[in-house]
Chains A and B, each alone.
Chain A
Amino acid sequence: TENCKLYSRLLILYPGYGVVENVRLIDRTVSRKATVGTLYLSATHTIFVENNPETRKETWVLHSLVASVERPPTTPSGSHLVIRTKNFQVLELLVPQERDATDIHASLARLSRPEKYSELYCLSINPTANKEEREESWSFLDLQADYRRMGVPNNLWVGTPANSEYRVCDTYPSELFVPKSATPPVIVGSSKFRSRGRFPVLTYFHQDTLASICRCSQPLSGFSARSQEDEQMMQAIMKANPGSEYIYVVDTRPKLNAMANRAAGKGYENEDHYTNIKLQFIGIENIHVMRNSQQKIIDIKTPSMGDFLWGLESSGWLKHIKAVLDAGVFIAKAVAEEGVSVVVHCSDGWDRTAQACSLASVLLDPYYRTMKGLMLLIERDWVSFGHKFSHRYNHLDGDPKEVSPVIDQFVECVWQLSEQFPCAFEFNERFLIQLRRHVYSCQYGNFLGNSQKERRDMRLRERTYSLWPQLWKDRAQYVNPLYRADHTQTQGMLRPNTTPYCFKMWKGMYNRLEKSAPPRHSPADLLTAVREETQQLEQELTNHQEVAPRGTAHSGTKQERPGRPAPSTGDGSVDSPPHDYRSTQRGPPDPAMTLPLGPPKGSDPDDLSSACSDIESGVIDLSSRSSSGGDDCKDPESDEAIYCPAWSGTRGPDTGRLPC
């Protein structure tokens, strides 16, 4: 069949174990229903295809998104495999032959932990097929243009060639902006006095107040050391803001951590040595604390509300999210309300500093609340300034102590803000989830390596595609219909409430597609649907007017419109099991997953290249294509629609999945 052909071309089978038949995919809800099918291991994905000829539902899991594979003890019915993904999904398989299970386990363990960059998806799959398209994809964003947008360079801030060829700091970008009065000796001297040479440079310039946000790493001050150049650099930054008489130095670490660093010859600025600085500690914990905290929040699995809230509290996750947001709020207020420039650092200046600076930008500048703006912001504060993506997100099998959900927290802060200001952001939750996914997936070259220099040395622009134009192309799925460029929430600085009750668990991220839960159902999605439907109706109305007496096909009832994304909200279906209302002592609810993330977009399943570049989801679902007889409607929620078949069924054959 068509699909088989697709596989035979897609799969670069691992010798010995490519295809395993009669595998059961177990629904991890209470029902523990199993579907029988065939498991394929390709070079990039684990694919499970249902045997049921009616649906032939497919479940794809990208190897680079596999976090762990467990093998619980073998049972008489076969061997279990539990695959956990980096986007918090769980796939449980029952393999009849123990030998097969061992093989799958071994190969997945290897495939999911690449040792070389060249094994990663973006470098191993047909990356350079179309040179022009590839080059174009990399020119989609222009960082320098964004600096120009905020009015830089100007008579206060100028570009410096100091770091060309990464001479002064190999983790910084080559193009940097510094105060006009900062001479090369000052730059070099300051760089020598800063951890890893990361001297203070401009990241955001606020045109209304002329105040700026600068970033750097901790000074090598120890207990008494000082650097004249570094002090001059700070002075220059203050001078670059004509209206103010002091600057804030925001150390995003807890004060105790900063003090401990002094013993190692590092530390923080001594207020006696620097003229007119105000030092402020924010207290964001380090990457190890954050890693453990996230693990705890992932592990909360309880049907009891009391235990859930207790687990949420003891994970500390929301407390950390609040700390990160508080840092952003402090900086934004200093810049916009006091008109005072801020220099931000942590230890190395690439984790907490990136979080705090980028959040402050989101709060200050409405542009960063648009899709393109957020892309640019990530490109600037995270990618160009040397956030260690490959280490933090475990792209290659490496030191587990380097791994930490730093950008997860930034993305979540933006989400928390969007919950508080529903009209202020151009994008929706799905955009944020997709963004975070790609940080981990390595399907695009953007986040490989740990610095601009590493990426240049790997020649990624010649060998991979950039993510941004792909996201932009799919922007229809990511639009927040409530966004109004002229709405009061959209204007000027956001002043979020950071009272603890404003923070809640991000269900869309951590409890994704839990089978027993109703799918996402933000009014926003529904509105997009309403709007699309209206457009479609208008279209049909036009057609109707053109071809007047065309029979009864379109009676104008909503139910018969094709293409409405199954908006529904719930597994309101008769055949899908309701939740477990019965047992008082429920077993672990185990959020089920197996769910695809996005619809397939390749129009021709036989076209290998398009299929590859379009499979941007780790887990995708082709069932709508295979069973809907060529109906090419795009259903952004197709993953979820699977669980409301009866409901979507009432809307006609839009998904091809009919109620049983």
Chain B
Amino acid sequence: MEFSEHIKTANVEDVVLRRPFYQPTKGTLCVTGHHLIFSNRGGDSARPFLLLLRNIDAIEKSVENLLGYSRLFSSTGQSQRPSVSSGTITLKCKDLCVLQLDIPGMEECLNIASSIESLSSLETVSEMYPFFYRPPFLSLQDQWGLSSTEQHYAQMKEIHDGWRVSQVNRDYSVSPSYPPAVIVPHSIDDETLVKAARFRQGGRFPVLCYYHRETGTVIMRSSQPLSGANRKRCREDELLLQAVIDGSELGYIIDTRSSQQAQQARMTGGGFESKSCYRGWKRLHRQLEKGKVLQESLIKLVEACGDQSHSVDRWLSKLENSKWLSHVQTALSTAGLVAECVERDGHSVLVHGSEGTDTSLLVSSLAQLILDPDSRTLAGFLGLLEREWVQAGHPFQQRCAHSAYSHVRLRHEAPVFVLLLDCVWQLARQFPLAMGFSEPLLLRLAKEVYASDYGTFLCNSDQERCVTGVKERTHCLFQSLLRANERQHYSNPLYERTELAIWPSIQPPSLQLWKGLFLQWTDDALHLVEAQKVIQNLVSQCHRPLNEKVENTDG
């Protein structure tokens, strides 16, 4: 299919663009297969404004037609004469920016709007922009992704005795959403894994995600067991979990559903690990919201942030009503619990909810950030995201199809990844020295996950990425973020590594609204960005002369 089929009007002159932080400007609007391009005709040398169509979440249009057919007037009156028929398109983007285009001519306006509507909601992966994006500084020959399971395993010498890499899923037949290789206990053979996988939803049998050196305990994750209404058992699954706590008397299962929800899941074939079958495993329930509830929370929050009313009461009541900060609190609290089991009690933990592709990943990756200094570096954090989200099969394409503005009926959308980023921001705010990366990185990721030049967040699983050729025909965002000049921009100038666990406070006053994301298009955010620059300058001023001197002395 050609993109041009969707483009009825490719160019419109004398369009006025209104966007945050800029004066309205007049220029030429151009629609291409993937972008809106706005160039300021003859104006300053500023580069044209480029908007990825994929970034557009909702489009609203209004047209005015005062004097019937106005073409006659507008074509003779040149640009001086105001066109009598005109339209306004409001674009609400997935990065929460709201833009407005005033377009002369009703027909043009409607054409542009319909092109945007159809092009921004294309669903065929291979037609998306990452398949066309070819920046000069990256080559398709580069490795796609930062690391593989095998490489990750190879780096962790200390687990080689007890754990092994299994290729049981090499053709994605055991679990379609798992990567080809996973880390499992040494004593469990592939045959057992295959059987255990049949007992877990989506074949997501328990796999290792983190090994804690200090206590020798681990964090595992999986999906729910398919025990069903008649309390089925699976010997292999029990063996697998037994092998995890081999030698120690206790392990914890953190179920991210309430116990009532877990009970109910049995009616639809799901379930939980019963005490009698899984000796030594203690189950704790922590209800984390996901899916529709979470998406609606985001929608309400964004709506509240856009409310220009001047009543504090109304704002606080809307903020409370959105429940977003409550979700942040629960996620951090559950991750804290997992970390506490591992670090303080010295017991291994298995995390799962139902599918094991959303809240389980949220909790396991936050727990790793709390515990593991390696995951708090810039590269380490991106590595964590790659392992725990991209490879682990978080269905990005489904979850991030639409954001907070869309009027489209919700299907699988849920801002789990945005919630993760918010929680990480809270951690970084509470421990400003501990993270090697800075807020701009989190903001960049929050934007890229919805609309990107890169292929990293395309598709729903590793398997889909292989089938559609994402790894061969797109570039990897993480690779790009680690290039020298980008790295500089996304590093935390105050970073100082600590080996200790960073226990976040989950008291309500300690958790704040993430202004940098939710209010990023307000002046307020501008002042904070300025402050960041001052910090950066300060640190570099402080360190530069000193480093030079030290070098001179050493020399």
Contacts and interface: CB of A to CB of B under 8 A. Distances in A.
Interface of A: 302-306, 308-310, 312-313, 316, 318-319, 322, 420-423, 481-482, 484, 487-489, 497-505, 507, 510-511, 514, 516-518, 521-523, 526-527, 530-531, 534, 537-538, 541, 544-545, 556, 558, 567-574, 578-579, 581-582, 584, 589, 646-647, 650
B315 A501 contact: yes
Contact of A312 (B310, B316, B496): B316
Contact of A569 (B317, B329, B340, B431): B431
B316 A579 contact: no
B527 A305 contact: no
A504 B539 contact: no
A572 B501 contact: yes
A420 B319 contact: no
B509 A308 contact: yes
B157 to A, nearest CB: 24
A541 B511 contact: no
Contacts of A567: 433
A208 B315 CA distance: 37
Contacts of A514: 505, 507
Chain B CB within 10 A, most for which of A305, A422, A517: A305
Contacts of A422: 527-528, 530-531, 534
Among A306, A316, A545: residue with most chain B CB under 10 A: A306
Given A303-B507, A530-B538, A534-B542, A421 B502 contact: no
Nearest to A482: B534
B432 A523 contact: yes
B30 interface: no
Interface string B267-300: 0000000000000000000100000000000000
B301 to A, nearest CB: 11
Contact of B433 (A500, A568, A584): A568
A510 B509 contact: yes
Interface residues of B, number: 71
Given A502-B524, A531-B538, A541-B550, A319 B494 contact: no
18 contacts: A313-B312, A422-B530, A488-B530, A501-B515, A504-B512, A510-B509, A530-B539, A531-B538, A534-B546, A541-B550, A567-B433, A569-B432, A571-B503, A572-B501, A574-B344, A579-B506, A581-B337, A582-B340
B141 interface: no
B311 A581 contact: no
Contact of A516 (B507, B538, B550): B507
A569 B538 contact: no
Given A507-B509, A541-B549, A518 B531 contact: no
A306 B326 CA distance: 7
A584 B505 contact: no
A319 B500 CA distance: 40
A305 B501 contact: no
Which are the 6 A-B pairs with shortest beta-carbon distances? Answer: A308-B508, A500-B315, A422-B531, A309-B320, A581-B336, A313-B316
Contact of A538 (B337, B527, B535, B549): B549
Given A308-B509, A526-B433, A584-B286, A313 B317 contact: yes
B547 to A, nearest CB: 10
Given A504-B512, A517-B510, A530-B538, A306 B323 contact: yes
B333 interface: yes
A521 B498 CA distance: 15
B430 interface: yes
B519 interface: yes
A420 B524 CA distance: 6
Interface in B241-289: 286
B343 to A, nearest CB: 8
A574 B553 contact: no
B123 interface: no
Contact of A556 (B329, B498, B550): B550
A500 B310 contact: yes
A518 B316 contact: no
B188 interface: no
A581 B546 contact: no
Mostly, the A contact residues are loop
Contacts of A530: 494, 538-539, 542
Contacts of B535: 482, 523, 527
B369 to A, nearest CB: 13
A503 B539 CA distance: 29
Contacts of A573: 500
Nearest to B317: A313
A302 B538 contact: no
A309 B500 contact: no
A481 B534 CA distance: 9
B310 A589 contact: no
A11 B316 CA distance: 49
Nearest to B338: A581
Given A306-B320, A422-B531, 12 more contacts: A306-B326, A309-B317, A309-B319, A313-B317, A313-B320, A489-B527, A497-B522, A504-B512, A517-B509, A541-B550, A569-B431, A572-B503
A302 B508 contact: yes
A505 B500 contact: no
A569 B434 contact: yes
A316 to B, nearest CB: 7
A526 B500 contact: no
B436 interface: no
B529 to A, nearest CB: 10
A387 B534 CA distance: 38
A644 to B, nearest CB: 9
B504 interface: yes
Contacts of A578: 336, 339-340, 344, 501, 503
Nearest to B313: A313
B308 interface: yes
A448 B313 CA distance: 36
Contacts of A487: 530, 534
Contacts of A523: 432, 494, 535
B494 A527 contact: yes
A569 B314 contact: no
Interface string B479-514: 000000000000000101011111111111111110
B312 A507 contact: no
Contacts of B498: 568, 572, 647, 650
A521 B527 contact: no
